[in-house]
Structure 1
Amino acid sequence: MTSDKTSIARLVEIAWQKGITDVVFSPGSRNAPIIIAFVESEKFNCICIPDERVAAFYAMGISLKTQRPTIICCTSGSAALNYAPAICEAFYQYIPLLIITADRPIEWIDQGIGQSIRQNNIYNNYVKGAFQYIQDARGDDDIWYNDRILNEAINLSLKHNLGPVHLNIPFREPLYGTTEELPTDVKIIKAYDHRASLSGESWNELSDIWRASERKIVLLGLSHPSEALTKVLNILVKDKSIILLTENCSNVYVEEGIQCIDRVITTFENPEEFKADLVLTIGGPVISKKIKKFFQTHKAKYHWDLRSEKGLDTFQTLTHKIDAEPIYFLDKLVALNSLNNIKFQDLWLVRNEKLKALQSDFMNKVAFSDLKVFDIVMNHLPNDCILHLSNSAIVRYAQLFDQKPDVKYFSNRGVSGIDGSTSTALGYATKSDKQNILISGDMSFFYDSNAFWNHHLPENFKIVLINNSGGGIFRIIPGPSQTKQLDQYFEASHETNAESFAKMYDMKYQSAASVEELND
């Protein structure tokens, strides 16, 4: 059985044949044909989450794990607007989503009918493409058109770079009709994504610059775990003219690299010694504000960006945008490696070891605080776990501690908002067979507390909540603490306790108010 609306029955079959397996609905009436068709097919992992903002982040977490589009589907009106924060995050984090919004009939938009807004192109700035089905498609051309744009949308979501796409579907009533007739001849368009290789002339120029640069920094930002990337970077840094800078959310472990960037660059006595001739940036956004400032102040002669189709000029130094697959390009650089006597890498590594020892001494003496909690938690992480980090102070504290080689790290650093951290982690955990741990600040936790308002809470999920009764980030960054408005308007101080939330959603709860209690 399926929906009696032909294009919707075909949508389900096309989605299945294109490899989509997960669908997150939010309840409504206008999207009834889509709900009926997907659920009745019994091929998909269908779940229902009432809060659309939570649903979208939850779906994003699923896609973060699977690297395949997850469908999110809601009714018409303001429900669609609640998807926006997660769509924006997915766009900047290169996470594939297929957003399907049910809509009122086209002729009734702006005519005083409830739950009718201008939904077509509603996410235009934050999707890779926006599409709308022909309403009440019946003829062969209408069916062909709807099939074609659905294929185009799914293919686009998976094309480099990955990302969200939007399909708006207007419906006339009735909405709940069904049929036993299933589609058998749906249109499938395959797509092969091939990024251009470098021309001989381009490579000759780049290889000459690479060889001539005696001090090279490779900066890896937010990245999905990749054994191939880890392998090639471990080979690349055998050249001592190269130092690799990573953050834990880079998800690459290279022993001859710098994992805690801020620890190393905070107190440079002679920063010019550490300046690069060439900076190569790979991956997504970088958390460290200090390294951005360092590169802006101590400008490299060359900055190559391998991160995006447009080329990111974060440090105002961009000289070359390289549109090549990272592994392919790094393999070509490895072939240029030389066993030289340049000590640029050693300069960084020696400083790192010195400051690492000083940090260890300091942490042994520090009183119970946010920082001490992080020290204890990071040292007690189980092997081979997945660590999710909420934003603001939490993700910044995490950068002060060395990465564990077998732990994967995730944080919503596309837009870096505090919303959706818990929902994203929950979605990811449902597709993971490992222990998933979320370290969250109180503001992020309570802001996303509806994340638990569903029937899909996985057993492999734990939360470490650091509740300092407000937005602690505003005591760290310069400015707010000098104002009279710090407590009420910046920190948003509160006395809310998470125990009541744990009871409400039948979750186990423990609290610690000292080093001894936390260690126990």
Structure 2
Amino acid sequence: MAYSDKKNLLELVALMDAFDIHHVVLSPGSRNAPLIHTFVEHPDFICYTIVDERSAAFFALGMAQRLQKPVAVCCTSGTALLNYSPAVAEAFYQEIPLLVLSADRPAAWIGQTDGQTLPQPGAFGSLVKKSIQLPEINTDEEHWYCNRLINEALIALTKNGFGPVHINVPLSEPLYQFTEAALPVVRVVRLEHVTSTFEVAFFANEWNHVRKRMIIVGQMAPQHELKEILSLLTQKTDVVIVAEHLSNLAISEATGHFDAVLSALSDEELNMFMPDLVITVGGHITSKRIKQVLRKNKSPQLWDVRPNGQVADTYQSLTTVIPVESDVFFTQLLESVNVDQEHSFSERWKQRILQTKQILQRYVPAQPFSDLKAVSAFMHGLPDNVTLQLSNSSPLRYAQLFPLKPTIEIFSNRGTNGIDGVLSTAVGFAAENQKLTFLLIGDLSFFYDINGLWNRYLSPRLRIVLLNNGGGNLFHLIGGPRKSSALDESIAYKHNTTARERAITLGFQYLSAGAEVEYESQLPLLWNANTEQPILMEVFTQTEVNSAVFNSLYQSFKNHIK
């Protein structure tokens, strides 16, 4: 084997090897050919090649979701880098360690009307934790500088929380000189991770002096220790845990139907359900309603447990930022707070949640075939020990209405809530997942990112359920867009596109259903783990029916939850 002769590149690859960053998604190009060649030649690197840079970056993001460790994505110079931007933004807000490697012309040629040049350093602005430009190494000092910069960048991937980092690599011609027999021996700078400690007495004392307590858990990767701790905390004390599916907190004590409960509360009842102390942990919450309610009815105290110490005042009543890991905080809190003899606040919430579930059990079977009914059957039928990827917009909101088995892990691109890389992310996730990976996705998200299926890495364990209702269904579920005459043509984008031909061409086993009996008869085919092909099921529903069923459901909550 022989590697590129570019010294900055060799330093980078050797340090990535030392930092155990071995998964690399490559986008074809000439300026990055020395990088491509060196990664492919080295036996420790696992390389994937994806032509579409936007899709490639989301594919890498999905892999990092699965692996819970850094994954690199590498492109050539020019506009190729800008196509990584959506995935970089998602990685930043979802706190995923995505390492962006961009090849570049030498700095002297930027802005000189040379081909494929633009100012690449700092291209992602504040959406990366760190951005560096490597020097081309000609002296010992430049060698030391290059090594120091790379160490700083690779440390930043996981320092004070995960996040994306950009390394720009200028490469002078000639590019295709592969003469180095080995990577250099490099200096590695390590960052020691010390377990955070804090004084819990103040927080335990404040906890003991209030009676209406709420913990809101946002989007998180699976954390089994936290699940156990919070379960014990609810048994010991009177506390309501608000958690959507994306929290991966599938414990019986968590309140998953809080949005429905809040939608049915009268002004007179609201105060009884509002907390005096809120503790937030994790990332985004999908429910717009809980944000609006808590912003209007501010809690006297709101603590945000956030390891990186960032101020995130989502509910406009933040009083304390606690910069420790959530399991550390809640473990010490659990050991220090008093036992509550009465659980009146949580019982009040539990009664309303039970009513919500009873309404759903009566309501859904009586409805015509629709997205709500399709998602209900899908969620109830999912096998144990699988992974579920949820598209943004209506699939995410429908899924939240139905129970999730505690053995199922769930992911979604809710960092920036975009639809642009949903499919690519799921495909990348499935490529590294030994279990079945299910994706529930809407039609606009699917067709927007159809290039996500144009690669060689479609896992036979991938299962896609495509809800095709002929447009952006979410815009028919919420009130505002329905007031516009441009709704169908330009907001929801009404269409009659189907996935059949593309799915078959790309190697999928294709299923379709437009009626309830047909749909439910084919669902068991999706649960089968022993197939040689990925499976795509396209479910056809009517937008008008979907809208009527969904809005009628929330009216039922208002009428019957008391």
TM-score, normalised with respect to structure 2: 0.90
Give how far 1:263 is off. Answer: 2.4
Is the 2:74–2:101 contact (alpha carbons within 8 Å) kept by the matching residues of 1?
Answer: yes
Pairing 1:113–2:101 present: no
| 1:375-410 Cα deviation digits (max 9, x unpaired) | 111111111110000101111111111221111111
Equivalent residues of 1:240, 1:343 under 8 A apart = no
Match of 1:473 in 2: 474
Please list every run of at least 4 consecutive aligned residues from structure 1 whose deviation after the TM superposition is greater than 4 angstroms. none
Map of 1:163 onto structure 2: 163
> Is contact 1:442–1:465 with CA below 8 Å preserved after alignment?
yes
Which residue number corresponds to residue 259 of structure 1?
256
Deviation (angstroms), 1:79: 0.3
Shift of 1:256: 1.8
Determine if contact 2:237/2:338 at 8 Å carries over to the other structure.
no
SS class of match (1:167): strand
Match of residue 284 from structure 1: 283
Matched, 1:461 2:459: no
Equivalent in the alignment of 1:215: 212
The residue aligned with 1:146 is 146
Match of 2:274 in 1: 275
The answer (yes or no) to whether the contact 1:261–1:399 under 8 Å persists in 2 is no
Contact 2:106–2:170 (CA under 8 A) maintained in structure 1: yes
**Pairing of 1:322-401 with structure 2 (within 5 A):** 322-335=322-335, 336-401=337-402
Conserved 8 A contact 1:157-1:164: yes
Which residue of the partner structure matches residue 428 of structure 1? 429
Which position in structure 2 is the counterpart of 1:304? 303
Q: Could you say which residue in structure 2 is the equivalent of 1:226? A: 223
TM-superposed CA distance for 1:292, in Å, is 1.0
2:519 is aligned to 518
TM-score (norm 1): 0.97
Q: Which residue of 1 aligns with 2:525?
A: none
C-alpha distance in 1, partners of 2:10/2:106? 19
| Worse overlay, 424-433 or 176-185 | 176-185
- Where 2:208 maps in the other structure, the secondary structure is helix
Query: How far is the alpha carbon of 1:195 from its aligned partner?
Result: 6.1
Which is further off, 353-362 or 203-212? Answer: 203-212
Residues 292-301 or 411-420, more deviating: 292-301
Q: Offset of 1:261 from its aligned partner?
A: 2.1
Contact kept in structure 2, 1:127 and 1:166, CA below 8 Å: yes
Amino acid at match of 1:345: S
Q: Which ranges in structure 1 are unaligned for 5 or more consecutive residues?
A: none
CA deviation string 1:476-497 (max 9, x = no partner): 1121111111111111111100
In 2, Cα distance between equivalents of 1:161 and 1:50: 30
What is the match of residue 27 of structure 1?
Answer: 28
2:202 maps to which of 180, 201, 205:
205
SS state of the match for residue 238, structure 1? helix
Moved more, 248-257 or 180-189: 180-189
1:8-157 to structure 2, matched below 5 A, reads: 8-135=9-136, 137-157=137-157
1:152-206 Cα shifts (integer Å, max 9, x gaps): 11111011210000000111110010114313421111112336422x4xx4432
Aligned-partner SS, 1:413? coil
- 1:506 Cα deviation after fit: 1.8
Q: Deviations over 1:4-47 (max 9, x none)?
A: 11221232221111111100010000001111111111211111
Deviates more, 1:317-326 or 1:462-471: 317-326
Give the Cα–Cα distance (whole angstroms) in 2 for the partners of residues 33 and 174 of structure 1. 10
Question: Is the counterpart of residue 313 in structure 1 residue 309 in structure 2?
Answer: no
1:237 is matched with: 234
Q: Deviations over 1:310-334 (max 9, x none)?
A: 2211111111111111111101110
Root mean square deviation of aligned Cα: 1.2
Q: Please give the alpha-carbon distance, in whole angstroms, between the structure 1 residues aligned to 2:444 and 2:94.
A: 22
One-letter identity of the residue aligned with 2:193? D
Instruction: For 2:159 and 2:23, locate their aligned partners in 1 and report how far apart those are by CA, in whole Å.
Output: 19
Moved more, 189-198 or 121-130: 189-198
Displacement of 1:240 in angstroms is: 4.0
